Amino acid sequence: MLRFERELITEWRRLDLPAEAAIVLLAVSGGADSMSLLIAADELKKAKKLDLRLVAAHFNHGLRGEESDADEAFVREICSERKIELAVGHARSKPTSNVEQAARIERYEFLTRTAENLKASIVLTAHTIDDQAETFLLNLIRGSGLDGLSGMRPARNLSNGDDNLKLVRPLLRWAHRAHTEAYCHEIGIDFRSDTMNEDESFTRVRVRKILLPLLRDFNPKIVERLAETARLLCHEIGPAQEVAAEALKLADLKELSEPELGKLLRSWLAVNRGNRRQIELKHIDALRRLINSRKSGKTVELPGGSNVVKHAGQLVFKKNNIEKEPPDN
């Protein structure tokens, strides 16, 4: 067994993932991260370390024309050569705004639908510790508050409240992008490079190509340090507290200390919206101002179209029915 495969099976056990009799869907873009995860999992099957039904899932967003189709063809070819089952999905229409986020939502809808059809219990994605560090820095720069800094979790429910389908990231805690590329070279598997990953008009690309190398001059282990800080925050903040989803009485809120109020508001939004994504400091601060303002009928708009209204001595959450939050960072 190669080292990358040994590390993967070790993490597989640490995450308490089933070694047999399970159906596992694996999201594959064709890049080094997902190809390494796919091939290593397949090698572990061949080595009898895993005895699972492993299905690759590729979603063709069609955003990069011929390049997207070549990615699909590449994934089809590898899966066919190695006799790995493959499900392929295609975007129905091109998003016109917020392209990256819209694409992510569509991709996760495809993964969820496909997993449900296959009766899979686990969806794997190939996010690495580098992705975690980049996400941390992006949220730090943006000022997303502590929730944003707590990063991706190695395992969580894919849909809210559904315990039967897990999203698991078995590379998140240990694998660097350099490891996934080295493993692909070592085992003689090609991978695709997304030209968007080179486009420095994307903030994430500049974080990866400019900011992280500079930080590495300060501390060669910076990626591990940032991922560890995210993990600590995740532990410290914990999941959203249970708070009543109904309206909050202003009189009660005014009794709270500043930090207590912030915590309560974040939890209340999380429960009402189904998640905390995209809730930034400015939204919490806007709610604080709303609470202290003298006028009734005022509104704070939240990302995704929902909003909070001050009415009759209460804060009332109003959900926008078409709101769909990306399940991922």
| Cβ at position 202, least distance to a second copy in Å | 12
- The yes or no reply on residue 16 touching a second copy (CB under 8 A) is no
Q: Does 31 bind a second copy (CB under 8 A)?
A: no
Classify residue 98 by its DSSP letter.
S
65 vs 218, beta carbon nearer a second copy = 218
* Inter-residue long-range contacts of 274-278, CB under 8 Å, 24+ positions, other chains counted: 274/160, 274/325, 275/160, 275/325, 275/327, 276/147, 276/240, 277/303, 277/325, 277/326, 277/329, 278/303, 278/304, 278/325
68-107 residues in contact with a second copy (CB under 8 A) are: none
Of 229 and 299, the one with the shorter C-beta distance to a second copy is 229
DSSP annotation string for 210-249: IIHHHHHHH-TTHHHHHHHHHHHHHHHH-SPP---SSPEE
Taking the complex as a whole, the smallest distance from the CB of residue 296 to a second copy amounts, in Å, to 28
Q: How many CA atoms lie within 13 A of 131 on its CB side?
A: 21
CB of 291 to a second copy, least distance (A): 17
* Per-residue binder mask for a second copy (CB under 8 A), 108-147, x = binder: --------------------------------xxxx-xx-
* From candidates 62, 155, 203, 298, binder to a second copy by CB under 8 A: 203
Q: Is 281 in the site for a second copy (CB under 8 A)?
A: yes
d(C-alpha 299, C-alpha 136), whole Å: 30
User: Residue written as tokens 């508050």?
Assistant: 145
Q: How far is CA 195 from the centre of its chain?
A: 21
The number of residues that bind a second copy (CB under 8 A) is 34
Nearer to a second copy, 58 or 277 (CB): 277
Per CB under 8 A, the list member of 104, 176, 225, 311 interacting with a second copy is 225
Q: For a second copy, give the closer residue by CB, 229 or 278.
A: 229
Instruction: Characterize the bridge pairing of strands 314-318 and 307-311.
Output: antiparallel
Question: Which residues touch 197 (CB under 8 Å, ≥6 apart)?
Answer: 31, 205, 208
Residues that bind a second copy (CB under 8 A): 140-143, 145-146, 149, 203, 206-207, 210-211, 214-215, 218-219, 221-222, 224-226, 228-229, 232-233, 235-238, 258-259, 262-263, 281
